[in-house]
Structure 1
Amino acid sequence: METSEAYPMNGGDGLHGYAKNSTLQGRIIDVCKAVAKEAIVEKLDMGVLDSSETFIIADLGCSVGPNTFTAVENIIEAVKSKYQSKGLNSKIPEFQVFFNDHVSNDFNLLFSSLPQDQRYYAAGSPGSFHGRVFPKASLHIVHSSYALQWLSELPKEIVNKNCPAWNKGKVHYGNSGDQVIQAYKAQYETDMNKFLQARAQEVVCGGLMLLIFPFIPNGIHPSQSASHLSMDLVGYSLLDLAEKVLYMQGIVSEEKVDSFNLPLYATTPQEFEAVVERNGGFSIERMEILPRSEFVNGNCPNGHQIATHMRAGFEGMIKRHFGEDIIDELFDLYAKKADEILIPAMVKSAEQGVNLFVVLKRKA
């Protein structure tokens, strides 16, 4: 089993839990429903349908719902359509779904929230998806949404004061030097190679992986991305708190900010294609740019709404590094900065896709 740093989303069903603050991610799953169904109907091999009386689906990085349940239902509906299109109604199998995430994920909330009318047998499969989680050739379809941007660990160079890649004064790589960007990229490529190696063993030949993750377009510098700006604002807000040393009693200092970094990397399509090609276990069957989730329904969220979504994802790691006393004030600051800086940048780049939907097929 591969060990990996865990960065769980906020559990529980409270005000700041991920379950109540993941609607932006859910919108993209809804947008993908039609293209995912089309991909399954067109690309899933008939041999996969005949290989087992139980069809196995795994959602990697499932978190606490409800988005994972929507994605699974969409996949099951598409697989049934595939059988029906081939006149195999009587052979539609039973479905087994494995929900995977780190052991620190709130699986209690996940399973207590299971839809009452579920059409599958549900099971948890804890562990890092950067390593093996399932038996060989056991999975027919793998799904993962908004999880592959998370690194298994931070690049060690960026917190080393003696290294050219030391990321002083910043918590992400968007506005950092080339050495920092390259350190993040190298860690991402290492992690993705491990991910693909593990899935190449677990997915049956002809099986599919449906992946949704944030990206930046080829040729665009990270500093030009509004998505990266959303990460930078965490750092700006922390530095604002660091200036209030007397008020905060030294809980936040510039030195502490220097040693804190967000373990996320948004790849480019070109980089992703290169990693898949080097792995050799999968073919890229489809790659589509998706719209900004914030603008799917035509309404841009305000700073407070964006801040609550960010809090649901980052609160745990921030508490671990700085303690919990700063959380409310930090995200109040973030909300103000989002209104002033982030939202205008998002509106300006509203036509620029920031999410990628990819279909990979396990080669024979």
Structure 2
Amino acid sequence: MKPELALSAPSAWLDPAAAPATPGRSFWAAFAAVVTVASLVLVLSTGQFRPRGLGPYSVSVPVDFAPYDPARWAIMNAGDYEAALKIDPTLPDPRSIDWSDAAPEPPADPLLLRDEALAGPPAKSYAFQGVTALDRERAHYCLTAAIYYEAASESDDGMRGVAQTVLNRVRHPSFPSTVCGVVFQGSQRAGVCQFTFSCDGAMARTPERRNWLRASRVASAALGGTVFPKVGLATHYHTTAIWPRWGKSLVMTNIVGAHIFHRWRGRWGMPDAFRVPYSGREPVPGPYLPVAQQVAILKGQGLAPGAGPVAAATAAPLPDTAAAPLPGAMSPPASVASPQPAVAPPPTYTDARLNQSGDVREEYRKSGEWIR
């Protein structure tokens, strides 16, 4: 007899579809769906991912703001600090930063604003104090001479423009760092000096007392730190009757009297470039080419330094004798020893201290040459 199968035994396998629903599983499925939807809404609202066609969106952020705070209004409407301190003892003392002692700034002068817009930024005030009394006397004499011989017939503003240009050069790295070095730069060679009066024989004219004293007063004020803002940071100028070849390479700042003033382009003409400290050691005032020799060269009766074989022997010792002869100056043949015109001694100054002998310092020996 065959054994019978026990069909009544329970099966360990159950159909998933027939399995009863579990409360925990349905909860986590719903929670995952909510988190997914919330994440999608958050991404879309932050703008990190926004497909085309969804259009603009807006975000509302709740703000806890009280439109009316009686305590704050009471403090602001208090009559003085003591009354406000009674309401809120933690208020800081306004006198701790001295704001109440600050003086209000004066109203801006429209004329000064207009001048600055035209001329550019003004120079910074700087007092040119020489190391010794002799240095101060030399600086004052050199600046006075530049003002007088360049602008004796000008107004006071015309003189101030020349003085400011000279002192701007003293503070700029392109020029000597002394007043006399700037004024007489290149005067050892006729025709290449930076200021024409120092090598064209103009200093043979005796100064007129009234205008010399006027130039002296302008020089004293400028050396003491007075700034003339109408020419800005000008380092060059020329008369209105001419327009030199270098005019287009610079920026015109202003026209004062009979002179047109210019400054460097770019950063070379901005205030940060004028940072060279004044050395305070003034060289011997020029001109470094004797005035008598300058006049002789202009009249065609003399030779420029270095033009002839015996020029160095007949002329006074000069810092640089390598200059080429001026146009029209004839050089004698080397085999003919032609007599040279007598050279007068250098001019003397009223102040004996200015007559001390000396040579141009080494760093100024090539002054006046074209800057490469």
TM-score of the superposed pair, with normalisation by structure 1: 0.24
- Higher strand proportion, which one? 1
- Higher helix proportion, which one? 1
Task: Find the structure with the greater CA-based Rg.
Answer: 2
TM-score of the superposed pair, with normalisation by structure 2: 0.23
Q: Give the structure, 1 or 2, with the largest relative contact order (CA under 8 Å, sep 6 or more).
A: 1
